[in-house]
């Protein structure tokens, strides 16, 4: 492990797979079962799953409206901070997912990055690949991630994955040069979202009674995964845009570029839609926060489903510590100064953790299972 915090090379890559946007643009007659078979989920598909239920308002159960909302402006206002901190604590303990309202990211910054992302995906495939195609030794660039075998089922989506912060982590040779404003708009957006992540992590630290510096250190590095989910009129209820997983990072902030729903979270064995809320970001607790808090705050399994008629685009900003850091339960929780809890998770260096992540496919909470000292 490099204690300097420099970005290592060759952390792991992903096997090449067909471009899904290109597949979706083909005439329906060309999307034969022989082409689609790697995407069809069988019993795990949204249409056929016998172990999960999608909550809807007319089911007399929960719906997207149940997902908590945390108002960041109130959280930072001394007159309302305690009340809003209570909402944040409940959201982290009971849900692991919440909307972030009044986050302070300027509207023009959001609109600019949305416009440039949509413009990028509207370019011809050859242009996109020419600017940003993934290499064989990493997942940065335009392509796919977590494909580790030729037999696994594939997600009905493409992605552009970029390291954004700190600036020295960027591989600018993979940042699109079209549209011409892409780099500037993404840079502005990434800085604003990192500020939001730091504010939320600082408040989480206060709720937990631990040092703010340790929690805020997991906002020091940021990557973005820009997701493009094409429509799939032939089999939208038999494919998934993103396999069920928890995020193997500290804190994720999601911008839903299009207003097409698709994000779902797994709570109490059932799938709950998290529909876009105008003006809000979606935050979720990652696996690293679960480790740091020794399980007090748990990461939540989620997935993306596909629309039959409309594309969906989203931007997930992942926040982690810099390379050279270590992840494991905090001393204030499990150490002599803590509550006497036994550590539930191993301690691991950030570089080794990323290598573990990139050698695995997206599959539930498999990374957390690997990190547990006594897995059940």
Q: Convert the pLDDT of each residue in 80-125 to its tens digit.
A: 999 999 999 999 999 999 999 999 999 999 999 999 999 999 999 9
103 near 196, Cβ under 8 Å? yes
pLDDT of residue 337: 56
Classify residue 112: in a domain, yes or no.
yes
Structural domain boundaries enclosing 156:
66-371
* Weakest-pLDDT range from 47-51, 103-107, 198-202: 47-51
Q: What would the 3-class secondary structure string for the chain be?
A: CCCCCCCCCCCCCCCCCCCHHHHHCCCHHHCCHHHHCCCCCHHHCCCCCCCCCECCHHHCCCCHHHCCEEEHHHHCCCCCHHHHHHHHHHHHHHCCEEEEECCCCCHHHHHHHHHHHHHHHCCCHHHHHHHHECCCCCCCEEECCCCCCCCCCCCCCEEEEEEEECHHHCCHHHCCCCCCCHHHHHHHHHHHHHHHHHHHHHHHHHHHCCCHHHHHHHHCEEEEEEEEECCCCCCCCCCCCEEEECCCCCEEEEEECCCCCCEEEEECCEEEECCCCCCCEEEEECHHHHHHCCCCCCCCCEEECCCCCCCEEEEEEEEECCCCCEECCCHHHHCCCCCCCCCCECCEEHHHHHHHHHCCCCCECHHHHHHECCCC
Question: Rounded to an integer, what distance in angstroms lies between the CA atom of residue 303 and that of residue 246?
Answer: 9
- Asked whether residue 290 is domain-assigned, the answer is yes
Q: How confident is the model at residue 297 (pLDDT cuts 50, 70, 90)?
A: very high
The mean pLDDT of 219-230, rounded to a whole number, is 97
- Asked, for residue 61, whether it belongs to a domain, the answer is no
In this prediction, residue 32 has a pLDDT band, given cuts at 50, 70 and 90, of: confident
Higher-confidence residue: 253 or 234? 253
pLDDT at residue 7 in the model:
73
pLDDT band at residue 376 using 50, 70 and 90 as cut-offs = low
Q: What is the pLDDT of residue 290?
A: 96
Encode burial over 25-53: b for 16+ CB neighbours within 10 A, e otherwise.
eeeeeebeeeebeebbbeebbbeeeeeee
Residue 166: inside a domain, yes or no?
yes
Q: What average pLDDT does range 179-189 have in this prediction?
A: 98
> What pLDDT sits at residue 8?
65
Q: What pLDDT, on the 0 to 100 scale, is given for residue 345?
A: 95
Residue 38 in any domain: the answer is no
Q: Specify the pLDDT at position 144.
A: 87
Q: Is 56's pLDDT higher than 60?
A: no
User: What is the structure's pLDDT at 336?
Assistant: 56
Confidence of residue 46 (pLDDT cuts 50, 70, 90): confident
Task: Give the predicted TM-score (pTM) of the model.
Answer: 0.92
Confidence of residue 338 (pLDDT cuts 50, 70, 90): low
CATH number for 169: 2.60.120.330
Pairing verdict, β 69-71 and 97-101: parallel
pLDDT at 354 over 70: yes
- Confirm whether 14 is domain-assigned: no
Residue 48 within a domain: no
Q: Choose between 328 and 376: higher pLDDT.
A: 328
- Asked if the structure places residue 40 within a domain, the reply is no
What CA–CA distance (Å, rounded) separates 18 from 154? 10
In degrees, rounded to 5, the angle at the alpha carbon of residue 245 between the alpha carbons of residues 241 and 248 is 120
Q: Please name the residues in contact with 95: beta carbons below 8 A apart, sequence gap of 6 or more.
A: 67, 68, 265, 267, 300
Q: Which residue, among 300, 283, 354, 346, has the nearest Cα to 322 in the 3D structure? A: 354
Percentage of the chain beyond pLDDT 90 is: 69
Q: Which of 6-20, 84-98, 132-146, 331-345 has the highest mean pLDDT?
A: 84-98
The domain tally of the chain equals 1
CA distance 306 to 41: 13
> pLDDT tens digits for 137-172?
788 999 887 777 777 899 999 999 999 999 999 999
Mean pLDDT of the chain: 89
CB 197 within 8 A of CB 317: yes
| Averaged pLDDT, 276-303 | 96
Q: In this predicted structure, what is the pLDDT of residue 11?
A: 62
Contact of 327 with 292, CB cutoff 8 Å:
yes
């Amino acid at each position: 492990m490099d204690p300097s915090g420099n970005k290592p090379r060759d952390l792991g890559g992903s096997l090449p797979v067909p471009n899904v946007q290109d597949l979706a643009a083909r005439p329906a007659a060309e999307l034969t079962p022989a082409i689609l078979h790697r995407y069809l989920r069988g019993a795990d598909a949204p249409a056929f799953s016998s172990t999960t239920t999608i909550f809807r308002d007319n089911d007399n159960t929960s719906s997207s409206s149940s997902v908590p909302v945390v108002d960041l402006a109130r959280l930072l206002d001394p007159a309302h901070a305690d009340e809003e901190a209570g909402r944040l604590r409940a959201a982290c303990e009971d849900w692991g997912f919440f909307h972030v309202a009044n986050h302070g990211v300027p509207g023009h910054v959001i609109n600019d990055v949305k416009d440039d992302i949509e413009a990028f995906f509207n370019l011809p495939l050859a242009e996109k690949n020419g600017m940003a195609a993934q290499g064989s030794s990493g997942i940065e660039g335009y392509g796919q991630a977590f494909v580790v075998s030729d037999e696994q089922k594939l997600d009905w989506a493409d992605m552009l994955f970029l390291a954004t912060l700190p600036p020295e982590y960027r591989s600018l040779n993979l940042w699109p040069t079209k549209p011409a404003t892409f780099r500037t708009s993404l840079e502005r957006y990434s800085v604003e979202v990192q500020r939001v992540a730091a504010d939320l992590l600082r408040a989480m630290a206060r709720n937990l009674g631990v040092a703010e510096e340790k929690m805020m250190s997991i906002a020091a590095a940021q990557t973005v995964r820009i997701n493009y989910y094409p429509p799939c009129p032939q089999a939208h209820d038999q494919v998934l845009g993103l396999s069920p997983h928890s995020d193997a990072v500290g804190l994720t902030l999601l911008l839903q570029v299009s207003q097409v729903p698709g994000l779902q979270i797994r709570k109490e064995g059932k799938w709950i839609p998290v529909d876009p809320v105008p003006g809000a970001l979606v935050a979720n607790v990652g696996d690293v926060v679960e480790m740091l808090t020794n399980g007090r705050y748990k990461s939540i399994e989620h997935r993306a489903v596909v629309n039959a008629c409309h594309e969906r685009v989203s931007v997930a900003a992942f926040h982690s510590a810099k390379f050279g850091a270590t992840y494991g339960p905090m001393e204030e929780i499990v150490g002599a100064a803590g509550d006497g809890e036994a550590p539930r998770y191993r301690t691991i260096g950030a570089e080794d953790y990323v290598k573990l992540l990139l050698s695995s496919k997206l599959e539930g909470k498999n990374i957390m299972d690997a990190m547990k000292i006594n897995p059940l």
